[in-house]
Amino acid sequence: MEKTTASLEESDVSIYASDEINTRLTTDEKIDFYRQMLRIRHFEDRSLHSYQQGKIAGFLHLYSGQEAIAVGTVSLMGKEDQLITAYRDHGFALALDMGMNECMAELYGKITGCSKGKGGSMHFFAPDKNFWGGHGIVAGQVPLGAGIAFALKYQKIKGCCLCFLGDGATNQGSFYETLNLASLWDLPVVFVIENNGYSMGTKIERHSIGRPLARRAETVDMDWDMCNGHHLYEVRTKIAAVMKRAQTENRPTLLEISTYRYRGHSVSDTGLSYRKKSEIEEYRETKDPITLFYNQLEKEGLIDEKAAKNIDKITHKEAEDAAKFADYSPYPTTEELTRDVYWEEDHPESNTSKGTIFFE
Amino acid sequence: MPVIYYRDALNAALDEEMIRDDRVFIMGEEVAEYNGAYKVTKGLLDKFGSQRMLDTPISESAFSGLGIGASMMGLRPVIEFMFWSFTYVAFDQIFNNAANIRYMSGGLVNVPIVIRGPANGGTGVGATHSHTPENYAASTPGIKVVCPVTPYDAKGLLKTAIRDNDPVCVMENTLLYGMTGEVPDEEYLIPLGKADIKKEGLDITFIAHGRAVLTCLKAAEILEAEYEIDAEVVDLRSLRPLDEETICDSVKKTNRVVLVEENKPYCGTDAQIAYIIQDKAFDYLDAPIKRISAVDAPQIYSPVLEKEQIPYPQRVVQTALSIL
C-alpha cells in the first residue's frame, strides 16, 4: 500500500506550487479559482442572510471555510469524471458551474430551483454536469458513489467517481461495506473524507478512535492519503494523484482532507456551544483558503488588492442577484407535488402501466 | 403450452432481458457461481459471464446502493435479495435513495432498478427471515411493487419490471419457486397495475396477492363443492400501481368481499384496499368487508403453529360463510 503522507503536519505550500499539475495552470485559470472560491463564500453568506430573513426553510449546511476542496477537485475533472457528495453540497454545485440562480431558488423552494424546489439545500443535482447529488443521510451516498464508478467500468468508460463524505460518515456501516466492495471489485472511485473536525456538534476526539481516519482503508487493502484542505494547490496535487490511480488502474483510494467549517453543522446550530470562538478565529486568520490563495497569487505576482476587490464585487453581486431571482421566482404549483415521482407518470406517451399509482 | 417451474419462469425472464439489453446485470448473494440460493439465476453466469453476473459479499447496504448508483448512470441492475427480510439492513438505500432520488432531483435522475427476492413466511425460518414488507414498499411513493403467484405472471411481470424506468420491487415466495404452471414459448409482457381474475364467480369476491391467491382458490373450491357458493378470486398481481377498477367491478358484481393476505394486519395492503372499496363501491356492499391476515405476532418458528398463523383455506371459507 502506498502512503505518500502520513501526518496532518503543515505542509510546505511551495512543494505543491511547484508541482506540474499546478505550474501548468494559466494565470486566467488561477484567477478563476480565486473567483470560484469567493463565489461560494458569497453564495453561502447570502443564503445565511436569506435564512435569517425567513426565506429558506429546513436545514442549511454551509460550506464556508472548505472552498479550496470543491474548487480544487472540480478543476481536475474531465468529461467522464463524476462527483457525488453529502448534504453540504452548495460548494460542489457552484464549483461544477451550476448557476447561482437555480441554486438559490432551490433553497427558496421555488420552481426555478435546480430540483424545482423539491430537493432543498441538501439535494442539489446536475447530471449534465456529472453531479449526482446532494444526499441528506450521512454516508447514504457512499454506496451510490461506488455504483457510479461501477457503471463507468461496466461501460468501459475511462473516468472515475469522486465520492465525498464527512468525518462523521466514517462510522456508518454503509461506508465500511462500500470500502470493502470498491477495493474487492477494483472500482474507479475516490472516497474523500472532508474532515472538518466535527460530526454535527461532536468533536472528532469524541466520535472516532484511530487516526488518521483514512487509515481505515488499510483493512481492505486500499490506498489512502492525507491532505490539507486549505491550500488549493495541495488539494489539486493530492486529488490528481488519486484520480489517476482510479482512472488508469481501477483502484480506489481513501483520501482524508483536513478542513474546517466556520458555521455550525446547520444554521440552527450556532457552532459555538461545542467549540471556542478562538478556534474559529484561528482558522480564519491562519488557514482561510481564500486568503491563503490570495496570498499565493499575490506572491506569484498575479493579483493585487484592486483586482481582488473587483472579483469580490462581481461575485457578491452575483449572489445578491441570485437572491433577487429567487425572491421573484414563483413557487411550484400544487400539481408539482406528484410530478417527478415516477418517470412513467411523467411520460404518458410511453406509459405501459395500468391502474392507480397515487392514492388518497 | 409448456409447463415450467416458477423459478424457471423467472430465470427465463432474466435470460431474455439480459440478451435484449446489455445494460441489464444481476447482482446479489450467491447469484452467480452458486446458481442462486433458489436456483433462479441458474446457468446465467455461464451464459453472460462474471461482468454481468456478480456475486456479492453479505453486504446488502453496499450492493443495493451500488446498484442504485449504477442505475442513476443508466444501467439496469437486477438486485437479488436472498430474502426481502434482508432489505432491512439496506433500508436507507431502497427507501431513501431509490425511492426519492428522482423526486429530489426534480426529475433529472432516474433509478431504473429491480429489487427482487422472496418475501414470505411459512417455511419455519423464524421471525427474522419471514418478513412480508410489500405493504411498506407499496406505501412508499416512487416505488412500484408486484407480487406474482403463477409462473406465467412471474415471467411477464419481471420482464416488464426490468424494462420499467422506475424502481420496481418484485416480491416472490420460496414456497412458489417449485410450483409449476403454463408459460408460452412466445415472448409476452404483463403490464404493471393489471389485476387478474384467477377464477370467476358470482356470490363473493376474494381479493389476494402472492401465495394467498392459491389459498383463496382452494377456499373457492371448497365453497363450491360443499356449499354451492360461487366465489370470484381476484389476484392483484401488482400493488403499486393498483388495479382499482377490477377490484371495484368484482365487488359490484358479487356485493361481498373478503380480503386475504399473508402479511400482518396492521396497515397491511388490504387496509388500503378496504378503504378503496368502501369509498368507491359502498352502495354495492351487502355485508361488511372482511379481512384475513397472518395472526398478528412475530412469525413463529414452530411449524405446526406457523401453518395456523398464515391464512389457510378453511379460515377463508369460514369467514366467507359468516357474511353470506
Over the stretch B169-183, which tens digit does the pLDDT of each residue have? 999 999 999 999 999
To the nearest whole number, what is the mean pLDDT of chain B? 98
Active site annotation includes B60? yes
Structure pTM? 0.96
Across the interface, whether the CB atoms of B62 and A146 are under 8 A apart is answered: yes
> Are B120 and B48 members of one domain?
yes
Contact B224, B322 (CB under 8 A): no
Q: How much is the pLDDT for A266?
A: 84
Q: How much is the pLDDT for A264?
A: 86
Across the interface, whether the CB atoms of A354 and B192 are under 8 A apart is answered: yes
CATH 3.40.50.970, domain A13-350, yes or no = yes
Q: How much is the pLDDT for A11?
A: 54
Asked if residue B241 has pLDDT above 90, the reply is: yes
> Are B168 and B228 members of one domain?
no
Q: Of B137, B152, B182, which one is at a domain's C-terminal end?
A: B182
Q: Chain B contacts of A115, Cβ < 8 Å?
A: 104-106, 108
Q: Tell me which residue range forms the domain holding B141.
A: 3-182
To the nearest whole number, what is the mean pLDDT of chain A? 95
Q: Indicate the number of domains in chain B.
A: 2
Is B96 near chain A, with CB under 8 Å? yes
Q: How much is the pLDDT for A3?
A: 46
Over the stretch B157-208, which tens digit does the pLDDT of each residue have? 999 999 999 999 999 999 999 999 999 999 999 999 999 999 999 999 999 9
Buried b (16+ CB within 10 A) or exposed e, A151-171: bbbbeebebbbbbbbbbbbbb
> Are B221 and B317 members of one domain?
yes
Over the stretch A126-137, which tens digit does the pLDDT of each residue have? 999 999 999 999
Buried b (16+ CB within 10 A) or exposed e, B217-229: bbbbebbeeeeeb
| Complex ipTM more than 0.85, yes or no | yes
**Which residue positions in chain A have pLDDT lower than 70?**
1-12
Minimal-distance CA residue of chain A relative to B143: A342
Choose, from B17, B29, B80, B129, the residue flagged as catalytic: B129
Across the interface, whether the CB atoms of A126 and B102 are under 8 A apart is answered: no
Minimal-distance CA residue of chain B relative to A111: B106
Active site annotation includes B129? yes
Q: How much is the pLDDT for A272?
A: 86
Distance (Å) of CA B33 to CA A358, B5, B40, B48, B54: 40, 21, 12, 12, 9
Domain boundaries, chain A: 13-350
Q: How much is the pLDDT for A9?
A: 44
Asked if residue B304 has pLDDT above 80, the reply is: yes
CATH for B253: 3.40.50.920
> Are B32 and B165 members of one domain?
yes
> Are B306 and B219 members of one domain?
yes
> Are B267 and B142 members of one domain?
no
Q: How much is the pLDDT for A5?
A: 43
> Are B264 and B205 members of one domain?
yes
Side-chain-facing half-sphere of A338: CA atoms under 13 Å = 8
> Are B177 and B260 members of one domain?
no
> Has residue B191 been placed in a domain?
no
> Are B40 and B86 members of one domain?
yes
Is B116 near chain A, with CB under 8 Å? no
Buried b (16+ CB within 10 A) or exposed e, A293-304: bbebbeeeebbe
Q: How far is CA B16 from the centre of its chain?
A: 21
Q: Of B182, B215, B247, which one is at a domain's C-terminal end?
A: B182
**Residue B295 corresponds to which amino acid?**
V
